[in-house]
A and B are shown apart, each in its own frame.
Chain A
């Protein structure tokens, strides 16, 4: 879990779970130059550690199969520009445009899956936070324990279940399990409890708004930063999901991009030509994630209405 949004940079964990605005004044004791530069150094080293592979991916995707081994690994070649577009062209034309198909599949699984998953998680978390009913804590605890079970451990049981209803090797086999996000429910509950004031809901009820209407018109807006976080988490989780599609899908046309690249990568020893395609493909496949993050990160900082009533 790298991408906990840094609404409060100094909170050490669960940055996104703390209501924004809670920590804006207290800057803590002033740090010495020593400790600040040590912190910078450590962060610098880690940044380098995480960015180097991506840099390698970038430079290597501008090389032909032969150049990968024979040229400097972290720098471009003289004709990098042309080679890159050549690789890109081959990537999208190989196997009748299979790669484009995979990208579309991933976009569909991750985009629609994350959207519906976010709505479900938000409704569930909101209900748990704002309505008193028997068994509320029990339900919450059960959902919470779901956070602890890695999705990959559920893949095989899911496969057997989907086999019973003959839905394996269909889009549904990957799509349906992706809609569930226990972590999203947890986040939505915490956030709804902190950011949606009961008084506001009372006011809405007095004005004659139904519960569902209140949820969609009032509460979701107050919960927006959390919803964006849930959406992004879920988007990334589905995009990177690998094991479930590996088990569920047989038809190449249904593969998401992760599984497709994996399949190609496992064939490199037979078809060495795929080596450069896998590398360019990996680069292309992270672009949508970067776009999603850049496009949505501004919503995190908005902290809409957190202190709006009091």
Chain B
């Protein structure tokens, strides 16, 4: 009871903390200004020490490589809980108090929030940053510049291009073609249901997964014209995706287990699930959660909305940002670039932290070159590299994604419980997002 009580109050305090920082920072947020001039970025004299907060396991060992080679720029790593579990809120508190770390890991969908609350240094003027654009997958660069001229707010770290994991053995046994379009996917879902299994699980709490689906379909949830935010959760592309999954749900062709739960793992492990449309990092989630099915999985590109299409979505990924108030932005930017482009660093970060780099050179890494036993020896990373280059580069996240995720996820839960539809959830999410932006004095165009 005590522990429970603690959790409730913690949650309550978390909410009030959010509300507090929301209020206090709302006053001086003026929205993302387009074309802000890059501040001059000069190197500091003498040796400097940088602080870097991340939640990627093993990052301290990657940084060790840097520290050995750069005695004048020493980096200390602090590892915390992942972003939405507390680290972002800590960043906001620390920025407010003026003692934020120089560098922080921030996921792409949280970057606009930091940008709007003026929590990021513009490092476009720092040596080497502007020239680094070519080294990163196109869409990731769009995420860290927000499309603003002369601005770079972070260096892309990793990405989560999506593809379809599927049970090659089961599809073959049942004589079902591996679906290449969403239409075929729905048809396969019926055949699989007839065999007593599900084609996949609909993750009601992973709204960013759903966003990845919309992303693949060429949809946009947010746009910023330099002054106003445009919220568009209910675009035709979103509607198409929502209706599609609603139909599968209504006909009970997909399961609705809580993602990443033990139950969910078990359903993959026992062959209850035949496919999982997921990101590249899902490869280890699957192999650890469903060890009994080793060798039986394979990876294919995401099913397409149009026959012969080649689009892919993205789920997850993060950047290394220089946080506001850093006294050594030039050194911080230099480190961030090294961290996310140096082949040795990328290889180690992948080995220890499971990162799939946002740098184009990822394809040259040894770790991604060979076949993976769990997937029957298939060279699955070739599929993901292909997917990565097919991700729409213009997708924009909003500045209040945590709130949007929560509201849409609540609606998804209700839809699964039989009240309303996925589309209703998006409409509610749309309205609440607009309300929330207005409440924070962030300009919204209607």
Contact = CB atoms under 8 A, between A and B. Distances in A.
A156 B354 contact: no
A160 B97 contact: yes
Nearest to B20: A156
Contacts of B97: 159-160, 163-164, 168
Interface in B177-214: none
A153 B5 CA distance: 14
A65 B288 contact: yes
Nearest to A275: B288
B288 A272 contact: yes
Contacts of B353: 270-271
A261 to B, nearest CB: 10
Contact of B57 (A65, A69, A242, A267): A267
A270 B3 CA distance: 26
Given A68-B262, A163-B99, A270 B81 contact: no
A96 to B, nearest CB: 9
Interface string A60-102: 0000011011100000000000000000000000010000000
A268 interface: yes
Contacts of A69: 262-263, 265-266, 269, 289
A210 interface: no
B318 to A, nearest CB: 11
Interface stretch (B6-14, B227-235, B368-376): B6-14
B2 A2 contact: yes
Contacts of B243: none
B2 A240 contact: yes
Interface string B385-400: 0000000000000000
B56 interface: yes
Interface in A26-77: 50, 65-66, 68-70
Contact of A272 (B6, B79, B284): B284
Interface string A244-263: 00110011100000010011
Given A50-B1, A153-B13, A246-B90, A266 B85 contact: yes
A240 B3 contact: yes
B10 A152 contact: yes
A266 B87 CA distance: 11
A300 interface: no
Contacts of A259: 81
Nearest to A64: B291
Contacts, number: 124
B6 A236 contact: no
A156 to B, nearest CB: 5
Interface string B13-45: 110110010000000000000000000000000
A70 B292 contact: yes
* Chain B interface bracket (under 10, 10 to 19, 20 to 34, 35 or more): 35 or more
Contacts of A164: 97
Contacts of A268: 260
B80 interface: yes
Contact of A250 (B53, B82, B98): B53
B9 A152 contact: yes
B309 interface: no
B86 interface: yes
B2 A270 contact: no
A165 to B, nearest CB: 11
Given A70-B292, A153-B13, A240-B2, A267 B55 contact: yes
A250 B13 contact: no
Interface in A150-207: 150, 152-153, 155-156, 159-160, 163-164, 166, 168-169
Closest 8 CB pairs between A and B? A272-B288, A163-B97, A152-B13, A69-B266, A266-B85, A250-B78, A266-B81, A263-B81
14 contacts: A1-B5, A69-B265, A95-B57, A153-B12, A155-B13, A156-B16, A240-B2, A242-B10, A243-B13, A266-B81, A267-B55, A270-B56, A270-B354, A272-B284
Interface of B: 1-3, 5-6, 9-10, 12-14, 16-17, 20, 51, 53, 55-57, 78-82, 85-86, 89-90, 93-94, 96-99, 101, 260, 262-263, 265-266, 269-270, 281, 284-285, 288-289, 291-292, 353-354
